[in-house]
Amino acid sequence: MAVRPIGAEIELTRPAMGVRRDSVAAVVRRFVRKKPLGAAGGVLVLIMVLTAIFADVLETHDPIATDAAATLARPGPAHWLGTDHLGRDIYSRIVHGARVSLIVGIGSTLLGSVLGGIIGLLSGYAGGKTDLIAQRLLDILQGLPLLVLALVMSASLGPSVQNVIIAISIPIVPRAARVIRASVLSIREMQYVEAARALGLRHLRIAFRHVLPNTIGPFIVLVTAQLGAAILVEAALSFLGLGVPEPYPSWGRMLSVSAAEYAQKAPHLVLFPGIAISLAVFGSNLFGDALRDTLDPRLRGG
């Protein structure tokens, strides 16, 4: 009887055991085809990111330089979107405002999501009294609306970029902790986690080495979903005078200066910053919803 060599058997069975991996372009095309609105939101987010990165190249004027001769100028060749009450170019300020909004939005979202994710991971994995106490404390934080808690924190810390990031990140912590905890509660019952316990691995190593990597999907969805809310809260804080201070160009600060006094005389002062805020929030929300539907197997549908 002929005996097949072991190496030949491995070679014959290897193609059947291979996992098909799509290219990045194929994944993007499939995402655009299935989620066109989400793809449109992703394009808006990408435009905002590129605008923030290349703000120094895209600007036409110094965003903080004043020009008394061009006060409240209407949109035209010299100033594409007009000027404000101090003669500052609105287009250049909106371009640089994208950088401020993106820094605050991404910084506060990542800070709040990472802190909340660690709390949710440890709380969900430990269970028992630790989980009970942690969840009751998170209930207290989550009982306050995002904007109200951010207002309290920002008023206590004072207006600055770093303080605004901290003020917005604190209300995100309980929301992130709840999302990650829900994933951890199901992951900790998996067989590979039980096998790690049976091998005598330490609980912290199991939590961070085996449980945490499997929460990356919900974490990415959480970050994209909270980005739009963080940008909106930053604009609201700046509008109330508790956000990013002068001379940093902020979309909310641009609205606070011009909304009440110059809205009727020069409506472009309110129109263009408002459009920028709306597009940024709208795009991040659309992209976050589509990403959630794609990464969550319960929402993928047929």
Listing DSSP states for 111-146 in one string gives: HHHHHHHHHHHHHHHH-HHHHHHHHHHHHHHHTS-H
Residue 282 lies inside a defined structural domain of this protein: yes
What is the residue type of 58?
Answer: L
Q: What is the CATH number of the domain that holds 180?
A: 1.10.3720.10
Q: Closest Cα partner for 280 from 240, 232, 219?
A: 232
Residue 221 lies inside a defined structural domain of this protein: yes
What is the residue type of 37?
Answer: L
pLDDT category of residue 276 using cuts at 50, 70 and 90: very high
List, for residues 182-217, the tens digit of each pLDDT value.
Answer: 889 888 888 888 888 888 888 888 888 888 888 888
Q: What is the CA radius of gyration of the chain?
A: 25
Contact by Cβ (8 Å): 127, 66: no
pLDDT at 64: 87
Residue 4 lies inside a defined structural domain of this protein: no
Residue 287 lies inside a defined structural domain of this protein: yes
Residue 105 lies inside a defined structural domain of this protein: yes
Residue with tokens 């309290």: 152
pLDDT category of residue 253 using cuts at 50, 70 and 90: confident
pLDDT at 302: 41
Q: Please state, in angstroms and rounded to a whole number, the distance separating the CA atoms of residues 169 and 154.
A: 11
Label residue 10 exposed, middle or buried (CB < 10 Å: 0-12, 13-18, 19+): exposed
pLDDT at position 54 over 90: yes
Residue 248's SS3 state is: coil
pLDDT at position 260 over 80: no
Which domain range does residue 153 map to? Answer: 50-58+88-297
Residue 187's SS3 state is: helix
Residue 8 lies inside a defined structural domain of this protein: no
List, for residues 106-115, the tens digit of each pLDDT value.
Answer: 999 999 999 9
- Cα-Cα-Cα-Cα dihedral sign, residues 66, 259, 286, 298: positive
Residue 147 lies inside a defined structural domain of this protein: yes
Helix, strand counts (H, E) of the chain: 13, 0
Residue 197 lies inside a defined structural domain of this protein: yes
The count of structural domains within the chain is 1
- Cα-Cα-Cα-Cα dihedral sign, residues 227, 233, 237, 240: positive
State phi, psi for 89 to the nearest 5 degrees: -70, 125
pLDDT greater at residue 67 or residue 91: 91
What average pLDDT does the structure give for the chain? Answer: 83
pLDDT at 12: 39
List, for residues 138-178, the tens digit of each pLDDT value.
Answer: 888 887 777 788 888 888 887 788 888 998 898 899 989 99
